């Protein structure tokens, strides 16, 4: 479309939006802040606003009360009636004043299949509201919203319709009160069910006691803080201390077997992509009894914390530790009656005691976690740990019984369990040097550019930073409830990033072509300090928000260097800013000892080019295809993963601001062909199965399970969109060996993914085995995987895949359909010592593939070429991105 016409349309739409917004804002003036922050008002904004506004009335709190905690399952992956719900988040922020930077807005990982709710807790009174949307009613409003000619009337009707929330209740959730008299707890269980009761009580109470940012990252993925999520926090601390990443070649690999809630904290804190750097299979009950710290009842957690390996892809070797949690000791120290509780409800209260003890006494709680063993692994051993049907606990000699067996195994003999002494080496900067190059920024001193290379005039000291610098007023209002003293170095860092990034792009706030990317958040840290306050500043300064789908927050590890990127989606110009850690570390250290106001005055004056190493790049797909030399420069300045994120992801997101794509980037850090395969598989899963979304850690109604036999990026996409987290036993992954693939029936050679929807109430489950016609996708996209560079063929393939959803959906193969009527059958498929594809009969020569529902696919599937390709590169489907090169390399080296 002609650019002028596009702009005219945008202006027209914008004007129309303002006119509509004004109507409802006249009737409800409190909506003004929502439309200021979130843009043109929609039903989703009104929903989030109503939840927050009702809660403010019921819990008697004012906007910006820092003692109020907001939790929601709204988000990019949660849709109702085909409409995603991230705009609710903007409305919650604008109405309640709860923000990510203040750590009192918790966006829970969820999916469309799960209930959509909002929770607010006033931590002064420990009273909480719970509002669950009525999806049927909401879907009707959404349909009418897209057809009505009188939105104002519809919005007015919506604002007073009480049937919008099917449950709206208020509870006292104070742990001490509930422990003294569990009657209200039992009431909650009956009214809203154990999952949601836990989401409220097991979040409000621990966070009122202790709220380190890494724990919040785990909570977001897991949806509550059970003792085992806390274990994951302490295990992660241990890994970072014992096995610090020492070079860009170092990566963490999680040997999660058996997975439990701890993995949902370890995944974000250690920056582990579940899709490619995790092995997880379950173990049978009798094996659990042999563990050093055996299981005591349900509730997740039975001692062994799995192993984490620091793998170096240059030396092809790894150091690992196996950790454990002394659950018995924690039960004893917290005076919990967990072991003698007879009912689920009672056990819930006894678990609450453990949670409260652990979060009241984190130093004591840390002591009940220990390192069981240290070990080193070779390439061959790592391969073995990943292999389907191999038991990592036997290989690592955790199971005492297995010793004799393992001794017969040549792989296990090579394993050296040696005490390691790893000095706590300070992480070097990534190999990104601010050398002069074509894309280095020459910083302007033009004072008309509103950024800091030309520092603002230094005003008289008034004692108030906002009086000195009125430009900070908006941020102070947004993030610190107008207490300018609370503006932090991190707030200022995000603010400066906007000044530099937007200044160089010549963007005004709310420019419709602006998209901001950053890894700042609860995990990425500078000198141990998390960076979520930067996010508040970005939202306030740039106007980019979660709800507008122009703020992308890929989750990287605690060790990763913080960066910000400002993309112009109309021309793909990108300003990329690396934070110069030494500068910020210095200010953070001085902040502990010096006068905060004086320091902030000084920091405001620091030039942007001192704080950041800045690059200007053009990421346009066609430019890159025409001039592939550009890639080397992008990669050398941004690093490999960020180059993928910005060039692969940026090109897709600039064209398709699809909330689900953004949800995938937040989880996986980039869009690759693999995640797009996952995205299209989710479509097929939804049309094939009565999916309920991933399981909860306290299973009530059942839930879905994703079992992968090929560690591949597609798993992260499925996990992001269907909420099958490993910690809640929704995700299991091993890797078929070349021999195991050879044993598969010809029609089953593409099988990578098993998805099962289990309904506990009906004691019935349905499952499918999926594969993807990778070769066909490559061919249709016109990419040449044989001759083109790694990044280029993928860029072509993935942008084609994003542009052609219907063709791609047809390339997803349903290889097998099955039913289960006993949960033990599901457990067997996810269990160690089992090859799930063999268990499902896919190795049988007489295996008959599932009938394909779509005749189109039949016509296009050419089995002979697919089969031979699969045999040649079984573990490197087109969809796989570089992150699995480690795995692929292992395999190839082994085959040669
Ligand atoms: Zn849990
Ligand atoms: Zn990927």
In this predicted model, what pLDDT tens digit does every residue of 666-723 receive, in sequence order?
999 999 999 999 999 999 999 999 999 999 886 567 899 999 999 899 999 999 999 9
Does 501 map to a domain? yes
CA of 699 to the centre of ligand 1 (A): 10
d(CA 797, CA 733): 26
| pLDDT at residue 295 in the model | 46
Pair (72, 168) in one structural domain: yes
| pLDDT at residue 325 in the model | 86
Give the closest ligand to the alpha carbon of residue 674: 2
CA of 249 to the centre of ligand 2 (A): 17
Residues with CB in 5 Å of ion ligand 1: 226, 261, 300, 697
3-state secondary structure 766-803: EEEEEEECHHHHHHHHCCCCCCCCHHHHHHHHHHHHHH
Nearest to residue 567, comparing CAs of 621, 610, 505?
505
d(CA 794, CA 644): 10
Pair (858, 772) in one structural domain: yes
Q: Are 851 and 816 in contact (CB under 8 A)?
A: no
CA of 272 to the centre of ligand 2 (A): 12
CA of 706 to the centre of ligand 2 (A): 18
CB burial class (10 A; 0-12, 13-18, 19+) of residue 895? exposed
CA of 679 to the centre of ligand 2 (A): 12
Domain termination site, one of 660, 686, 709 = 660
CA of 535 to the centre of ligand 2 (A): 24
d(CA 531, CA 533): 5
Structure-token pair, residue 488? 């932090």
Q: Are 651 and 801 in contact (CB under 8 A)?
A: no
Domain termination site, one of 146, 172, 198 = 172
Identify whether 258 is preceded by a cis peptide bond (ω within 30 of 0): yes
What does the buried/exposed string (b/e) look like for 92-112 if buried means 16 or more CB atoms within 10 Å of the residue's CB?
bbbbbbbbbbbbbbbbbbbbb
d(CA 25, CA 19): 10
395: domain range? 224-326+368-413
d(CA 511, CA 126): 41
Domain termination site, one of 172, 194, 211 = 172
Give the closest ligand to the alpha carbon of residue 300: 1
Does 208 map to a domain? no
> Distances from the Cα of 627 to the Cαs of 620, 622, 882, in angstroms?
10, 8, 21
Give the closest ligand to the alpha carbon of residue 222: 1
| pLDDT at residue 548 in the model | 98
Give the closest ligand to the alpha carbon of residue 883: 2
Pair (578, 710) in one structural domain: no
Pair (754, 679) in one structural domain: yes
CATH code for the domain of 386? 3.30.1330
Q: Are 323 and 262 in contact (CB under 8 A)?
A: no
CA of 83 to the centre of ligand 2 (A): 26
CA of 259 to the centre of ligand 2 (A): 23
The runs of H, that is alpha helices, within 97-150 are: 135-147
CA of 717 to the centre of ligand 2 (A): 9
Give the closest ligand to the alpha carbon of residue 199: 1
CA of 155 to the centre of ligand 1 (A): 39
Longest Cα separation, the chain: 85
Each residue's pLDDT tens digit, 621-673: 999 999 888 898 888 889 889 999 999 999 999 999 999 999 999 999 999 99
3-state SS assignment for residue 220: helix
CA of 135 to the centre of ligand 1 (A): 26
Give the closest ligand to the alpha carbon of residue 712: 2
d(CA 291, CA 393): 9
Residue that is written with structure tokens 């249709």 in the block: 780
Q: What is the CA radius of gyration of the chain?
A: 27
| pLDDT at residue 888 in the model | 32
Give the closest ligand to the alpha carbon of residue 351: 1
Pair (408, 532) in one structural domain: no
Task: Collect all residues with Cβ–Cβ distance below 8 Å to 731 and sequence separation of at least 6.
Answer: 259, 274, 280, 694, 705, 706, 707, 708, 715, 719, 724, 725
Does 863 map to a domain? yes
| pLDDT at residue 352 in the model | 96
CA of 640 to the centre of ligand 2 (A): 12
Please state the φ and ψ torsions of residue 161, each to the nearest 5 degrees: -85, 110
Does 474 map to a domain? yes
CA of 273 to the centre of ligand 2 (A): 9
CA of 870 to the centre of ligand 2 (A): 19
3-state SS assignment for residue 848: coil
DSSP string, 648-714: IIHHHHHH---HHHHHHHHHHSS--HHHHHHHHHHHHHHHHS----BPPSS-SSEEEEEEESS--TH
Give the closest ligand to the alpha carbon of residue 644: 2
Taking residue 176's Cβ as centre, other Cβ atoms within 10 Å add up to 11
Does 599 map to a domain? yes
In DSSP terms, 574 is beta-bridged to 567, 617
Nearest to residue 754, comparing CAs of 738, 781, 734?
734
Give the closest ligand to the alpha carbon of residue 885: 2
Give the closest ligand to the alpha carbon of residue 225: 1
CA of 300 to the centre of ligand 1 (A): 6
CATH code for the domain of 603? 3.30.1330.130
Specify the DSSP class assigned to residue 255: E
Low-confidence stretches of the chain (pLDDT < 50) are 1-3, 8-9, 11-21, 294-302, 401-452, 853-896
Into how many domains does the chain fold? 4
CA of 581 to the centre of ligand 2 (A): 27
| pLDDT at residue 409 in the model | 38
3-state SS assignment for residue 496: helix
Pair (496, 537) in one structural domain: yes
| pLDDT at residue 348 in the model | 92
Nearest to residue 649, comparing CAs of 628, 629, 637, 667?
667
Each residue's pLDDT tens digit, 506-548: 899 999 999 999 999 999 999 999 999 999 999 999 999 999 9
Give the closest ligand to the alpha carbon of residue 276: 2
Nearest to residue 313, comparing CAs of 786, 716, 888, 712?
888
Taking residue 846's Cβ as centre, other Cβ atoms within 10 Å add up to 6
Pair (651, 723) in one structural domain: no
Q: Are 365 and 334 in contact (CB under 8 A)?
A: no
Give the closest ligand to the alpha carbon of residue 716: 2
CA of 253 to the centre of ligand 2 (A): 16
Pair (654, 677) in one structural domain: no
CA of 277 to the centre of ligand 2 (A): 12
Give the closest ligand to the alpha carbon of residue 727: 1
Helix count and strand count (H, E) for the chain: 42, 24
d(CA 759, CA 426): 49
Nearest to residue 555, comparing CAs of 260, 814, 264, 844?
264
d(CA 435, CA 469): 33
Give the closest ligand to the alpha carbon of residue 227: 1
CA of 668 to the centre of ligand 2 (A): 7
CA of 769 to the centre of ligand 2 (A): 21
Pair (143, 275) in one structural domain: no
Does 126 map to a domain? yes
Pair (548, 645) in one structural domain: yes
CA of 520 to the centre of ligand 2 (A): 20
Give the closest ligand to the alpha carbon of residue 198: 1
> Distances from the Cα of 384 to the Cαs of 251, 275, 277, 389, 581, in angstroms?
18, 18, 14, 10, 39
Beta strand 250-255 with 165-172 is: unpaired
| pLDDT at residue 623 in the model | 92
d(CA 213, CA 521): 8
Does 338 map to a domain? no
Pair (616, 484) in one structural domain: yes
Give the closest ligand to the alpha carbon of residue 881: 2
Does 427 map to a domain? no
CA of 646 to the centre of ligand 2 (A): 13
Pair (727, 771) in one structural domain: yes
């Amino acid at each position: 479309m002609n650019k002028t016409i596009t702009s005219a349309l945008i202006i027209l739409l914008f004007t129309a939006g303002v006119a509509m917004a004004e109507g409802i804002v006249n009737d409800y003036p409190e909506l003004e802040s929502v439309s200021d922050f979130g843009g043109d008002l929609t039903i989703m904004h009104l929903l989030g606003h109503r939840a927050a506004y009702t809660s403010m009335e019921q819990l008697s709190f004012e906007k910006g009360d820092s003692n109020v905690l907001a939790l929601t399952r709204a988000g990019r992956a949660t849709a109702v009636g085909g409409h995603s719900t991230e705009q609710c988040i903007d409305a919650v922020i604008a109405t309640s004043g709860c923000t990510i930077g203040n750590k009192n807005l918790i966006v829970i990982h969820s999916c469309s299949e799960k209930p959509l709710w909002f929770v607010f807790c006033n931590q002064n009174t420990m009273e909480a509201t719970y509002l669950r949307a009525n999806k049927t009613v909401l879907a009707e409003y959404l349909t009418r919203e897209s057809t009505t000619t009188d939105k104002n009337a519809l919005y007015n009707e919506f604002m007073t319709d009480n049937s919008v929330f099917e449950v709206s209740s208020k509870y006292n959730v104070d742990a001490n009160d509930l422990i003294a008299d569990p009657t209200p707890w039992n009431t909650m269980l009956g009214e809203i069910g154990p999952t949601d009761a836990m989401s409220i009580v097991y979040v409000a109470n621990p966070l009122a006691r202790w709220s380190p940012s890494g724990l919040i990252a785990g909570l977001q993925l897991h949806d509550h803080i059970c003792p085992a999520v806390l274990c994951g926090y302490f295990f992660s601390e241990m890994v970072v201390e014992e096995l610090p990443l020492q070079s860009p070649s170092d990566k963490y690999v999680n040997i999660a077997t058996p997975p439990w809630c701890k993995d949902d904290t370890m995944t974000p804190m250690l920056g582990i992509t579940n899709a490619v750097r995790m092995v997880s299979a379950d173990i049978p009950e009798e094996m659990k009894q042999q563990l050093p710290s055996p299981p005591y009842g349900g509730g997740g957690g039975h001692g062994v914390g799995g192993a984490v390996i620091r793998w170096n892809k240059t030396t092809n070797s790894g150091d690992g530790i196996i950790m454990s949690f002394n659950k018995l000791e924690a039960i004893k120290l917290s005076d919990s009656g967990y072991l003698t509780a007879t009912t689920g409800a009672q056990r819930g209260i006894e678990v609450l005691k453990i949670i409260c003890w652990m979060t009241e006494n984190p130093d004591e709680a840390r002591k009940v976690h220990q390192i069981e063993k240290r070990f080193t692994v070779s390439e061959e051993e790592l391969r073995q740990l990943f292999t389907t049907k191999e038991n990592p606990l036997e290989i690592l000699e955790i199971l005492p019984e297995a010793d004799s067996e393992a001794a017969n195994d040549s792989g296990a003999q090579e394993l050296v369990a040696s005490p390691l002494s790893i000095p706590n080496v300070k992480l070097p900067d990534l190999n990104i040097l601010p050398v002069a190059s074509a894309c280095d920024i020459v910083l302007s001193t033009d004072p008309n550019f509103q950024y800091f290379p030309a520092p603002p005039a230094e005003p008289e000291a008034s004692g108030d930073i906002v009086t000195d610098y009125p430009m900070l007023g908006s941020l102070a209002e947004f993030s610190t409830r107008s207490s300018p003293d609370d503006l932090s170095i991190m707030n200022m860092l995000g603010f400066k990033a906007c000044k530099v990034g937007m200044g160089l792009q010549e963007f005004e706030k709310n420019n419709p072509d602006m998209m901001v990317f950053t890894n700042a958040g609860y995990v990425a840290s500078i000198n141990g300090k998390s960076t979520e306050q930067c996010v508040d500043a970005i939202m306030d300064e740039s106007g980019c928000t979660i709800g507008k789908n122009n703020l992308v927050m890929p989750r990287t590890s605690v060790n990763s260097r913080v960066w910000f990127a400002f993309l112009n989606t109309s021309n793909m110009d990108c300003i990329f800013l690396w934070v110069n850690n030494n500068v910020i570390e210095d200010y953070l250290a001085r902040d502990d000892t010096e006068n905060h106001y004086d320091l902030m005055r000084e920091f405001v004056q620091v030039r942007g080019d001192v704080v950041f190493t800045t690059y200007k790049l053009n990421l346009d797909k066609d430019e890159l295809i025409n001039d592939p030399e550009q890639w080397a420069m992008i990669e050398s300045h941004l690093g490999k993963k960020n180059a993928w994120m910005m060039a692969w992801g940026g090109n897709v997101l600039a064209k398709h601001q699809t909330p689900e794509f953004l949800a995938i980037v937040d989880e996986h850090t980039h869009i690759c062909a693999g995640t797009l395969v996952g995205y299209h598989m989710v479509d097929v899963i939804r049309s094939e199965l009565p999916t309920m979304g991933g399981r909860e850690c306290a299973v009530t109604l059942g839930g879905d399970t994703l079992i992968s036999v090929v560690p591949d990026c597609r798993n992260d996409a499925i996990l992001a969109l269907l909420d099958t987290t490993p910690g809640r036993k929704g995700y299991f992954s091993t890797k078929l060996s070349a021999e195991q693939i050879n044993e598969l029936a010809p029609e089953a050679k593409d099988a990578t993914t098993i998805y099962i929807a289990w309904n506990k109430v009906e004691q019935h489950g349905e499952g499918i085995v999926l594969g993807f016609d990778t070769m066909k996708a490559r061919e249709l996209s016109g990419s040449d995987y044989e001759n083109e560079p790694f990044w280029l063929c993928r860029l072509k393939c993935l942008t084609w895949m994003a542009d052609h959803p219907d063709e791609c959906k047809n390339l997803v193969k349903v290889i097998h359909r099955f039913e289960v009527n006993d949960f033990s059958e599901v457990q067997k498929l996810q269990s160690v010592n089992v090859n799930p594809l063999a268990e499902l009969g896919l190795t049988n020569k007489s295996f008959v593939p599932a009938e394909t529902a779509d005749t189109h696919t039949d016509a296009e599937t050419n089995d002979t070429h697919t089969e031979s390709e699969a045999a040649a590169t079984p573990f490197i489907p087109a969809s796989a991105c570089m992150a699995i090169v480690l795995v692929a390399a292992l395999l190839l080296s082994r085959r040669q």
